[in-house]
Amino acid sequence: KQEVTQIPAALSVPEGENLVLNCSFTDSAIYNLQWFRQDPGKGLTSLLLIQSSQREQTSGRLNASLDKSSGRSTLYIAASQPGDSATYLCAVRQGSGSARQLTFGSGTQLTVLP
C-alpha cells in the first residue's frame, strides 16, 4: 500500500526566504505526483502536476521536482510572501490497477511572517 509522508508538519519562515517542502512515497510505480495548496476553511487547489516521465515542473515562483527512484519530491518556493501561508499537500497517483486514485500526505503547514 502506498504511503506518502511530508516533513515537517509545520514550518515558519520570514518573508523573502526561499524554502523547500519535502514529500516522500514508498511505492515508486506512480503515474504522477501533484502538489496542492489548501487555505483554511477552503478546498484544495492544484499547484503543479509532474508526470512520472518528468523530473520537474515550474509555475512562477514554484518549482516541483520528482525523483521516482528514491521516492521523493520537493516543492521549492522562491522569495516567499505572507500570501504563501497555507497548507501544502502532496499526492501521488498510482500507475498500476484500474483505479488510479490519489494518495495524499498529511501536509506541511507553512507560515510566512511579514
Give the binding site for another protein (CB under 8 A). Answer: 4, 9, 31-32, 34, 41-46, 49, 51-53, 89, 91, 93, 98-107
Considering the complex, what minimum distance in angstroms separates the CB of residue 14 from another protein? 26
C-alpha to C-alpha distance for 84 and 65, rounded to whole angstroms: 19
Minimum CB–partner distance for residue 15 and another protein (Å): 27
* Least Å from the CB of residue 34 to another protein: 6
Compute the least distance from the CB of residue 62 to another protein, in Å.
15
**Are 59 and 48 within 8 A, CB to CB?**
yes
Instruction: Rank residues 33 and 80 by Cβ distance to another protein and give the closer one.
Output: 33
End-to-end CA distance of the chain: 41
Nearer to another protein (CB atom), residue 99 or residue 114: 99
Q: CB-wise, 43 or 114, nearer to another protein?
A: 43
Look at the block and give the residue holding cell 506512480.
30
Helix and strand counts by DSSP (H, E) for the chain: 0, 11
Residue of 79, 82, 65 whose CA lies nearest to 24: 65
